[in-house]
Structure 1
Amino acid sequence: MGHRHVHRLYVPGASPVHRLPPQCKLVALLAFVLVVVATPRERIWAFAVYAVLLAVVAAMARVSYGVVLRRTLIEVPFVAFALLMPFVATGDKVTVLGGLELSRHGLWGAWNILAKGTLGVMASVLLAATTEPRMLLLGIERLRMPQLITQIAGFMLRYGDVVVGELRRMKLARAARGFEARDLRHAGVLARSLGALFLRSYERGERVHLAMVSRGYDGRMPVLYEVSATAAQWGMASALPLSAGLVALAAWMTP
């Protein structure tokens, strides 16, 4: 019962990046992504420098590059459209691979989406690997996010795994009774299972709320951790977006 829940995306550590207050890392991430998005897509070298900056952050955080690259694969389904752009976009054509004609504008568009999207995902992966979800929510609160929203997000994080576990047990119970969904004829059984899952989740939520009220819950969660940031910590967190900003400035000034 005393074991503290650790999210699967978090990589435990005591690095300088881990110790930074969450609000500092959130602002740094947002600023870095904005700088990357504002960079001209034709300056390919600038995106390579951004990748090097993220590699330096990963090394400081002692998060292996393999972990970052594996988790970055989550973007693959979302960038499929980018791979189609050279084939469907209009404009000037370029010939590659022995006669295959691709749109020049589509190639640049695909590169723009892939490069900026990948860098943004990698930065987010590093944030998740070095900051626990509960600390992220505290950091968002420190940035003046309404506490009601952070409470809802906190309950989603805490009980999302509980609901998934309940769904897994229901699937196992169906399999133990010989059920296996093969076609649309079994849609009714799956729909009833989802209905039962909704009712169980709703009832669990009622029990959790009653338990909280009985312990003095009045609409605000108690503050268990202090996440104030010093000027030095803000300065350290700003190193990444400031460095990226200098790269972007050079990219805009380069003819």
Structure 2
Amino acid sequence: MSTVSHRLHLARSSPVHRAPAEVKIVCAAVMVFAVVATPREMFWPFAAYAAGLLALWRVAQIPLRWIAPRLLIELPFVVLAILLPFAAGEPRTMLFGLSMSTTGLYAAWGIIAKGTIGVGISLTLAATTSVRELPGGLSRLHVPGMVVTIVVLMLRYVDVIADEAARMRLARVSRGDDPRTIRQIGATARGVGSLFLRSYERGERVHLAMLSRGFTGTVTDFGTSPATRGQWSLACVPALAALGVCVGAWVAR
């Protein structure tokens, strides 16, 4: 069974994959900040962001058929955005024969455009950075050791919890239960509670086992060398371009 980390990481030998993890984390954060800070009333900056993201995927050898299904994670927000033009107030405008709120239209556009590009950036980071690289990258960015530990263990044990939930569901189905029916909502709630308790107890056991093996509160950095100045300069080009587009949008507004 493939794990969550394996489903998100796409093994390639591109320059983006070879870039140090801390550089990619910083660049992704800067790019997301630039996208979020862009005025939603402007349309051309988001076209520029999308074009840059497509170019980055080409360099990183990430096919669209791999990215597209994973973009569906934002579908609930898209549904919410579609309802905004009908729920918001004045002023209103006619679009496709329907009276829609102008403010709601801009809000819907902002959610869909910024959300899609932001998810695309996050997926690019996940596809080009393995879980094994994260502890070193976060540590070199001087992220507190406890936060690094929580992130790494969360990524590791989300697979364990997902497998446990799948086994519990299989056990229910094999005993004639149908978790999809509304009548079984009580049993489903009890199953969720049981899964929470099992996860909590597993976490305590794992923590005690780590302490007994000399765990000091920090995750090992596996000996990866820090990024050089040249690597920072080259890898930050997309982030600087995104900042330039954001600033240009505010100037032209």
TM-score (normalizing by structure 2): 0.88
1:211 aligns with: 209
Whether 1:51 aligns to 2:54 is: no
Structure 1 unaligned regions, length at least 5: none
| 1:80 lines up with 2:79 in the alignment | yes
Q: Which one of the candidate residues 236, 239, 242 is aligned to 1:241?
A: 239
Question: For residues 55 and 40 of structure 2, what CA distance do their matches in structure 1 show?
Answer: 23
Q: Is the alpha carbon distance of 1:45 and 1:218 closer, same or farther for their aligned partners in structure 2, counting shifts above 3 Å?
A: closer
How many residue pairs get aligned? The number is 251
Helix, strand or coil at the partner of 2:7: coil
Q: 2:35 aligned with 1:29, yes or no?
A: no
Alignment of structure 1 residues 21-170 onto 2, 5 Å: 21-97=20-96, 99-170=97-168
Amino acid in the other structure paired with 1:72 = L
Alpha-carbon contact 1:22-1:227 (below 8 Å) kept: no
CA contact (8 A) 1:93 1:104 kept: yes
State the superposition RMSD in angstroms: 2.4
SS of 1:95's partner is strand
User: How much identity, in percent, do the aligned residues show?
Assistant: 46
**Within-5 A mapping of 1:195-234:** 195-234=193-232
1:35-89 CA distance string (max 9 Å, x none): 2222222321121111111111101100002222221121111232221121122
C-alpha distance in 2 between matches for 1:65 and 1:216 = 44
Would the aligned equivalents of 1:82 and 1:109 in 2 still touch at CA under 8 Å? yes
Query: 1:180 pairs with 178, 181, 200, which one?
Result: 178
Mean Cα displacement is larger for which, 104-113 or 57-66?
Answer: 104-113
Q: CA shift at 1:184, angstroms?
A: 5.9
Letter of the 2:191 counterpart? S
Q: 1:189 to 1:60 in 2, by over 3 A?
A: same
Contact 2:8 2:127 in 1 (8 A): yes
> C-alpha separation between the residues in 1 aligned to 2:36 and 2:150?
30
**What is the CA distance between 1:138 and its match in structure 2?**
2.8
Structure 1 residues 111 and 206: CA distance shift in structure 2, 3 A: closer
> 5+ residue gaps in structure 2?
none
- Structure 1: how far apart are the matches of 2:10 and 2:17? 9
- Which TM-score applies when normalising by structure 1? 0.88
How many angstroms apart in 2 are the aligned matches of 1:34 and 1:194? 36
Task: Give a deviation string over 1:91-136, Cα, whole Å, max 9, x none.
Answer: 2222222x31112222122112211111111111111111113323
Change (3 A) 1:178 1:81: closer
